[in-house]
Structure 1
Amino acid sequence: MKKILVLTDYSAAARHALLFAMHMYHAQACEFSLLHSYAQLPEASDFLDDQIGRDAQAMMNDYVEGFKKEYELNPYHALSGTAIGGNIYIAVSELYAKQPSELVVVGATGNGDSIWLGSVATEIIRTAPCPVLVVPISAALRPLQDFVIATDYSNFKSQTLFKPVAEVLEAGKSKLVFLSILEPEQSAKEVDQERQALLNQYFEDFEPLHFFMKDDSTLEGIEEYLSNHHTDLLVTVSHNRSLWDVLLNRSTSRILAYQAEVPLLVLTENVSDSSEELPSSEWELL
């Protein structure tokens, strides 16, 4: 059974993200685990800490039961919830250590004005040990058909990185596009043909298309594509190389997550980084 962790602050955006994930995996057996992190009082007694924890878990239990009553749960799906005190990132780490998840889901308002959702989504992308799905509240609850994977054909070590995408594609129904943003002077012939062939072979049942655009900015190129082509799910790859791209706000995936207008699936493939060198002018993340 696929284990999916869904972060919630009990907002409409968080609930929508859960519903979207359930629609996305409608044909798969999944265990959805809600996670809410609550504030802890400084210098509180153990008794008070325990009481706050019990109240928070009771609220979560009521939320889960209310959700099950409001929405008819897919027979392939199970739903539970946990409330953990303290920092949301530590809570995710603690829960993952006990119950490893294959995906973390977080909601987004889509306009960049939600500090909690925006900051959580971007930080989770940087730190999560598994793929992250960011769902804007405007995302339609319907079968996914148009998938776009942003790649420069060098940002992955193995094509199996894209297994989470293959799991939700449907032969004869899904359209898969590999989107590559080239430098203005770059030619499509310069991309790694061997890796392109590997992707074609891995997704041969879905007859993927390869789309090339030229732009000085990877981010602006992706945004231009999205503005002109219907996309149900955008997929990017994160390497979590260093804190430099965080400090300089250079991460394409994290910017897309903060300003999410289409659902974003960020795949994680850790790479070794032997030093914290001064950052170059190039993007480290697509």
Structure 2
Amino acid sequence: MKKILLLTDFSEASHKALEFARSFFSDTVVDFHLLCVYPVEADGFYSPRHVAETVHTAFISQLRDMVTELRKQPAIDWHTFRSSAMPGKLIDVVRQNLDAEAYDLVVIGAKKDGTNELFGNSATTLIRQLNANILVVPFDAVSKPIRRIVLAIDFANLKSCKLLCPVKELASLKGATLTLLTIDTPGKKAIRLEREISIRQFLAPLEPTVARLQSSDARKGIDDYLAGHSVDLLVTIPKHKGLNDILTGKSITRSLAYMPPVPMLTLYDDGSSDQPRLIEDLSNLDYAL
């Protein structure tokens, strides 16, 4: 069973995300947790406690109505729904829920609610700060079968093939084609053939196609590929999460998530590696063995 944390603020974008997620997992047993995170604003007339209780009651009522409506829709017997409303900052509340319970995925609808692409929005904040896989659903996404999955990947920088488990599982379950998209940019580290071979072996029995594009930068290369190909899901592995990376435009995933051209799955990289570690001091070889 998959456990999905789906964020909602009752907007059109969040409704679209829920609709897409139900379709996306139509062939999977899923427990959907609909989470509404809201700020509590002070009121000059009523006490803070009264305001908090009133707001909480209103959001809980909306969530109950939403869940009731979902249960009236054509049944997918293997989908269950629960809901909660919590006050606070979005990132803090989501972290709290992830710490309390193991979720396979966080789902959020993309909407342009940030100042601009540099400062980002809710989706980009979650990608940057959460240790979780995140599905970002565009506001104009169409619910349809997932047939073509594209993984934007830098073979040289992929330290652990285990990161690709969700992609392998999805492509196998959906019977989808998988394309490994790599963008060759000026000064990019050379790819060792054995690394590409090990990735292919890990993905077996899938037989992914490798698409290599040359471009002045990775974001432009991805945009050019998407413009010329039909893609149902784009998968990325965020690497550059620091403030300096954002300011210098190195955070490709973040810029894509601001207004994603297609549904986008980001995979959390915990920094682990499945590659052999070099022994620098050969004098200690006996002890290392």
| Fold in common (TM above 0.5) | yes
Match of 1:244? 244
Name structure 2 gaps, 5 residues minimum.
273-289
CA pair 172-95 structure 1, distance change in 2 beyond 3 A: closer
- 1:66 is aligned, of 66, 69, 72, to 69
Partner deviation per Cα, 1:196-221 (whole Å, 9 max, x = no partner): 11221122222101111111110000
Q: Tell me, what secondary structure is at the counterpart of 1:227?
A: helix
Equivalent position of 2:142 in the other structure: 140
**Count of residues in Structure 1 that have an aligned counterpart in Structure 2:** 266
Q: Please tell me the residue identity of whatever aligns with 1:51.
A: T
Q: Is the 8 A contact 1:40 1:85 kept in 2?
A: yes
Question: Structure 1 167/202 Cα, relative in aligned 2: closer, same or farther at 3 Å?
Answer: same
Which structure is larger by alpha-carbon Rg, 1 or 2? 2
In structure 1, distance between residues paired with 2:214 and 2:11 = 39
CA contact (8 A) 1:24 1:168 kept: no
**Aligned partner letter, 2:185:** E
Note the aligned Cα RMSD (angstroms).
Answer: 2.3
| Identity rate, percent | 31
Residue 39 (structure 2) pairs with residue 39 (structure 1): yes
Is this contact kept in 1: 2:8–2:14, CA < 8 A? yes
User: 1-side partners of 2:114 and 2:188: how far apart?
Assistant: 38
Structure 1 unmatched runs, 5+: 273-286
Deviation at 1:160, TM superposition (A): 1.3
User: How do residues 25-36 of structure 1 correspond to structure 2 at under 5 angstroms?
Assistant: 25-36=25-36
Are 2:154 and 1:155 aligned?
Answer: no
Matched, 1:93 2:60: no
* TM alignment of 1:1-286, pairs within 5 A: 1-42=1-42, 44-69=47-72, 71-109=73-111, 113-115=112-114, 119-170=121-172, 173-184=175-186, 190-239=190-239, 241-271=241-271
Which amino acid counterpart does residue 108 of structure 2 have in structure 1? V
Change (3 A) 1:22 1:171: closer
Question: Equivalent residue of 2:142, what SS?
Answer: coil
Structure 1 residues 83 and 186, CA gap change in structure 2 (3 angstroms): closer
